[in-house]
């Protein structure tokens, strides 16, 4: 499909600077721009590319001031990144949706099926499952007994959902995710072995949640492991039993949340963050990548870094010191030698 600069600007409520009738039919990064494509400039670090880019149209912030001439047509908006994201969402929504149930799918007669479903090859829908309207189950998805999935949720290939799980509307579960596997519950016995503690709870995933590929969400020992509305998880994330993640919290790849930890709303965790169990994390907390959290964070909107993590500003100041420890050690050793020599001279 082709779109003119004027049409795009009208949709974004922006203004055109250049040729309003120029057409685009694809998107590209500004540093790899091609004729007939749309790019955007939001980060000042990439400004150098706008002067040479071959992109036909570039979305920029309305306060952008070019340092030299630009060949591309500009569309000025309040927030270039948000506007570009809105166009990508529009494009994604315009793509035709898969509909239909494969003859090679296995669906229990006791399942309740909504309208306009897509169920791919070798997908299994077990007993008493409820699928809302517009649900998409890609090939090789497994849906266990008594699972409920809300309208328009999408489960990509290879997702496994254990019995009793509840998934809300407009969720996206990427390939290889396992939801509802047993929590890590074992108790030592008199024979010095470990006996498994039955995990009889469920997982509840509210609306508009997205879970990245190959992540795992464990069922609760009792009660529920809960991902609240709007939670976004990256790939390769572990959420243990009885964890609760608050609304609109985002967690980057390879992070792990131990059992019974409660995370507040609007938190942001960098990659490879680790939390021990039974903690409370206040609303709005930000945790830098590779941080380890050994105790609760009760201050809202706190920013922490390190392992064990502490205040971000203090960590940055401390880093200046501890990265120079080898140099300081050499200086101390040198001073010790000088003191020894001076002491020896004074005694003699």
Distances in Å between the alpha carbon of 310 and those of 134, 207, 282? 45, 33, 14
The residue among 106, 105, 109, 119 whose CA lies nearest residue 149 is 119
Task: Give the integer Cα–Cα distance in Å for 137 and 139.
Answer: 7
241 tagged catalytic: yes
Set 156, 174, 208, 241: catalytic member: 241
The residue among 273, 316, 319, 314 whose CA lies nearest residue 294 is 273
Q: Which letter, b or e, does each residue of 133-151 get, where b requires 16 or more Cβ atoms within 10 Å of its Cβ?
A: ebbbbbebbbbbbbbbbbb
CA atoms within 13 A on the CB side of 171: 27
Distances in Å between the alpha carbon of 288 and those of 90, 166, 252? 32, 31, 10
Structure tokens at 238: 């572990």
Structure tokens at 305: 């870094």
Question: How many residues would you count in the chain?
Answer: 348
Active site residues per annotation: 241
């Amino acid at each position: 499909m082709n779109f003119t600069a004027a049409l795009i600007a009208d949709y974004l409520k922006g203004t055109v600077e250049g040729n309003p009738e120029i057409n685009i039919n694809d998107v590209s990064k500004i540093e790899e721009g091609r004729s007939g494509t749309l790019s955007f400039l939001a980060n000042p670090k990439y400004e150098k590319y706008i002067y040479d880019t071959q992109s036909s149209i570039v979305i920029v912030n309305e306060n952008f001031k070019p340092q030299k001439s630009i060949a591309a047509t500009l569309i000025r908006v309040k927030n270039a990144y948000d506007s570009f994201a809105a166009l990508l969402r529009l494009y994604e929504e315009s793509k035709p949706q898969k509909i239909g149930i494969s003859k090679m799918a296995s669906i229990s007669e006791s399942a309740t099926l909504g309208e306009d479903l897509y169920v791919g090859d070798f997908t299994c829908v077990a007993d008493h499952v409820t699928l809302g309207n517009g649900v998409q189950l890609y090939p090789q998805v497994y849906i266990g007994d008594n699972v409920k999935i809300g309208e328009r949720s999408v489960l990509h290939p290879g997702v496994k959902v254990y019995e009793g799980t509840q998934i809300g509307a407009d969720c996206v579960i990427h390939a290889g995710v396992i939801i509802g596997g047993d929590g890590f519950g074992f108790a030592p016995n008199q024979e010095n072995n470990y006996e498994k503690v039955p995990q009889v709870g469920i997982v509840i995933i509210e609306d508009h949640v997205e879970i990245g590929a190959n992540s795992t969400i464990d069922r609760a020992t009792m009660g529920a492991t809960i991902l609240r509305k709007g939670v976004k998880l990256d790939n390769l994330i572990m959420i243990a039993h009885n964890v609760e993640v608050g609304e609109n919290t985002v967690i980057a790849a390879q992070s792990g949340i131990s059992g019974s930890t409660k995370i507040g709303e609007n938190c942001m965790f960098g990659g490879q963050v680790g939390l021990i169990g039974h903690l409370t994390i206040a609303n709005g907390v930000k945790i830098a990548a590779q941080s380890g959290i050994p105790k609760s964070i009760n201050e809202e909107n706190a920013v922490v870094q390190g392992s064990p993590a502490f205040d971000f500003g203090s960590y940055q100041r401390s880093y200046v010191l501890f990265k120079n420890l080898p140099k300081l050690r050499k200086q101390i050793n040198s001073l010790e030698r000088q003191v020894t020599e001076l002491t020896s001279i004074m005694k003699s």
